[in-house]
Amino acid sequence: MTTLLTLPGPDVPVIDESRLMSEFGGSPEILAELRDLFLAHAPPLYEGIGQALAAGGLPTIVEMAHSLKGACATYGAGRLAMVCKGLELTARAGNLEAARQWREALDREYAAVFAAIGGIRA
């Protein structure tokens, strides 16, 4: 990994439920809607990033990593958002091999978010 300093540490929760509760007033309906929007938008972006990494499509990686980063930030998935930011910046710099090195962290954090979604009180 080229930029280890940008990897999230253990102090960053997989999903920051307390931030979601405070920002959205603790409304179960709003939290459920946010979750459903995230579940609808994140998988195609994640899959697209994987395809672009395999094909060497740096502009697509930049675009999709940026979009997934925004979805993660909105949903409170800060760890995954940080990984997406690192991937986006690496791809924007034109370094495909370094961008491909982000794949393991992306896969790990993506899986952690989807595992954690089951534990969100919505």
How does pLDDT run along the chain (122 residues), one tens digit per residue?
A: 444 445 666 778 899 888 888 887 878 888 888 889 999 999 999 999 999 999 999 999 999 999 999 999 999 999 999 999 999 999 999 999 999 999 999 999 999 999 998 766 54
> What is residue 120's predicted lDDT score, i.e. its pLDDT?
60
> What is residue 17's predicted lDDT score, i.e. its pLDDT?
84
DSSP code per residue over 57-113: -HHHHHHHHHHHHHHHHHHT-HHHHHHHHHHHHHHHTT-HHHHHHTHHHHHHHHHHH
Q: Which of 51, 58, 68, 74 is nearest to 109 (CA)?
A: 68
Pick the CATH number of 27-117 from 3.20.20.300, 1.10.10.410, 1.20.120.160, 1.10.3230.20: 1.20.120.160
Q: DSSP class of residue 118? A: T
Residue ranges covered by each domain of the chain: 27-117
Q: Which helix (H) or strand (E) holds 116?
A: helix 103-117
CA-angle at 122, arms to 78 and 112, nearest 5°: 35
> What is residue 6's predicted lDDT score, i.e. its pLDDT?
58
> What is residue 102's predicted lDDT score, i.e. its pLDDT?
96
